[in-house]
Structure 1
Amino acid sequence: MTKIIGLTGGIGSGKSTVVNYIASKGIPVYIADDEAKKIMEDATVKQRIQKLFSQSVLNDNGTLNRKKIAELVFGFPDKLKELNAIVHPEVQNHFKEWLFKHKEYSFIIKEVAILFETGGNKQCDKVILITAPEELRIQRAMKRDNLTKKDVLVRINTQLPDSKKKELSDFVVENVDLNDTFLKIDEILKILAKS
């Protein structure tokens, strides 16, 4: 049976860089956030999301205005929970279909930003946590997403602290120097291939 290896880390930890590296090795990677974005544009799902908010969250072209949704849910745990209750089950179903298509692999990587927060770690055989010092994470996220420091801190504070995530993870990779990070990932992949 194909093992599910969860990969997670807070905003700005460098998950995407690590995931791209793993994918370059020919290992199937499921990026939950990317799939969620596609699923959210489904007409029925979009309609359910719009119903959550008193104001329009659609752009002129009918696509979801992600920036506006982020403003309406980050810092408002109940709204975020309601949004997740719509999107997460849809992503779960999509993942099951995807996993079936990759059943010939001994393991796959499932990258989820809020793996522990959603209880998704319970469906994983092992979990890899990507971490980095908070100041570095803030700098990376500000540069990548064109966010203010305040915006980044709001997002960091909606996620479980790294100290808690470390306790729940099987592998922890401190992502400061990329070469070191890739060497650690190579070691982990070797261990996973043997298990």
Structure 2
Amino acid sequence: MKVIGLTGGIGSGKTTVAKQFEALGVPVYIADEEAKKLMNTSKVIKRKLIQLFGNEAYVNNQLNKPFIANIIFNDKTYLQKMNAIVHPRVATHFKKWQSKQNAPYVIKEVAILFENGGHKQCDYVITVIAPKDVRIERLLKRDNTTKERVEAIMKNQWSDDEKIKLSDYVITNITLEDTKNQVSKIHVKIIKSIE
């Protein structure tokens, strides 16, 4: 079974693309969602995050996202330390999930696939891109955020050009219909490469 990495900058539309693959019957693993679940359910992760951030890391047994986001926003070393705690457990969780799938390939959607070296564990990589202004507009509509905060996140991610160089496929996600067509074509190519 092949593992296809799916990535793209914040607001590029990774989740939209992932859902389109899912509609074609491809099992999809959304790493960020699974990481969030594990941060609230794994005793090991909880203990280590409390050691890292202090007792305020959890409120009512749930991850205190605003508190942690504020620390990370002001000191990037905390982001690296948190990722070092969470990512290995997400990788283990993914392996278990993958072993239960029955399909020619699975999609693993990871926001920072290249940044954390995860692309090396993938057979192919698909990068989703969209113009910066479109991405910012989407995020301002979707999240309760500011343009400055979005741009700060973008600065922490690799540029589209850097990602494209290491990708096997690129999807330009501007209109839903066009994106759907690109997904279908890539799906056919992947299936043919496996047969």
- Opposite residue 84 of structure 2, the aligned amino acid is A
Deviations 1:12-60 (A, max 9, x none): 001111111111221100110011011111232112112112561222x
Corresponding position of 1:144: 142
Q: Does 1:74 align with 2:73?
A: yes
Q: Judge conservation of contact 2:56–2:67 (CA < 8 Å) in 1.
A: no
TM-score, normalised via structure 1 length: 0.95
More helix by share: 2
- Opposite residue 81 of structure 1, the aligned amino acid is Q
Distance 1:193 1:67 in 2: 42
- Opposite residue 175 of structure 1, the aligned amino acid is N
Deviations 1:152-183 (A, max 9, x none): 11111111111100101111111111111110
- Opposite residue 39 of structure 2, the aligned amino acid is M
- Opposite residue 135 of structure 1, the aligned amino acid is D
- Opposite residue 178 of structure 1, the aligned amino acid is L
Match of 2:181 among 180, 183, 186: 183
How many percent identity over aligned positions? 47
Corresponding position of 1:8: 7
Corresponding position of 1:35: 34
- Opposite residue 160 of structure 1, the aligned amino acid is W
Q: Does 1:109 align with 2:102?
A: no
Corresponding position of 1:45: 45
Corresponding position of 1:171: 169
- Opposite residue 44 of structure 1, the aligned amino acid is V
CA 1:21–1:75: 2 relative to 1, 3 Å: farther
Corresponding position of 1:123: 121
Q: Judge conservation of contact 1:75–1:154 (CA < 8 Å) in 2.
A: no
Q: For structure 1, which segment, 109-118 or 19-28, has the greater mean C-alpha deviation from structure 2 after superposition?
A: 19-28
TM-score, normalised via structure 2 length: 0.95
Q: Secondary structure of 1:50's match? A: helix
Distance 1:74 1:119 in 2: 22
Q: Any gaps of 5 or more consecutive residues in structure 2? A: none
Distance 1:66 1:13 in 2: 22
